[in-house]
Amino acid sequence: MIITFWSHEKEETAKTSSIAAITTLFTLENNFKCLLTQTHHRNKSLESCFWKIVDVEQNKFLEGKKGVELDTGIDGLLKLLSSNKLTPESITNYTKVIFKNRLEVLFGEKVKTAEEYEIIKSSYKEIIYSANKSYDLVFVDLTKGTDDIVAQDILKISDLVVVNVSQRMDVIEEYIRIAENDPLFDKKKTLLLLGRYDKFSKYSDKNIARETGIKQIYTIPYNTLFFEACNEGLVADFLIKYRNVDENDRNYIFVSETRKIVQAVLDKINEFHRG
């Protein structure tokens, strides 16, 4: 099953940090073999949620050392694909493990120019489609917008789309107009998520639901410790430490709201398997 996180707006929606939180908590609490990947050009924000980024080009002494592989992630798979050697089973050889037999991350490409990216990005769909045969779930942090044909293709093969929006009525109304005219966003296969959520805003999830008629809106509240963890490669550590805190802990609301959308994703998975 392919679960894609997508946004139509240009402004920051905390989409990458949201998918990192949801996927991590999901795999901590459910027994699925999952792959997490992204389709952005030269963007290491997903990697930085789980590891401190080491730039091999600026640290030549690392080359050849044990544990440092230059052909990892999408780059390594592109070489397999170009030589007709890509198989679903081979993908795991190019990932990094977060939780053994539960969660792996496939890094994005490291090409240097936009022109190179335009050439190779059409391969993302085939890699994701192939991964879906080897993993129970593939979580995709997708490029914003629908103008890109590759983004459209990945949305078409997605079984669930988590639509990430900021806490602004004009943005949400724009998405509603898009969804009304685009079958890619069928209500049965979409969830609406407010990232970096501020419960004190007048545009609360309940007020937005009242204004728009959307029955269920999910949130990832802003949490200082969590967003620091995203910058320090400590998302997994954060959720392991705080996922069972009681309601008196400052992180309780963040974890409980994240758990709500984790449950919603699980419900969609069960619906999908029931047919």
Cα separation values, 210 from 26, 53, 205, 246, 260, Å: 29, 43, 9, 30, 20
Question: What is the rounded CA–CA span in Å between residue 46 and residue 49?
Answer: 5
Structural domain spans, the chain: 2-274
Residue scoring higher pLDDT (145 or 25):
25
Q: Does CATH number 3.40.50.300 belong to domain 2-274?
A: yes
Give the pLDDT score at 111: 66
The per-residue pLDDT for range 178-236, each reduced to its tens digit, is: 999 899 899 899 999 999 999 999 999 999 999 999 989 999 999 999 999 999 999 99
Question: What is the rounded CA–CA span in Å between residue 272 and residue 160?
Answer: 9
Q: Is 32 exposed, middle or buried (0-12, 13-18, 19+ CB in 10 A)?
A: middle
Computed over its alpha carbons, how large is the radius of gyration of the chain?
18
Give the pLDDT score at 56: 39
Give the pLDDT score at 193: 97
Phi then psi dihedrals of residue 161, to 5 deg: -120, 120
Q: Give the residue-averaged pLDDT of 43-63.
A: 65
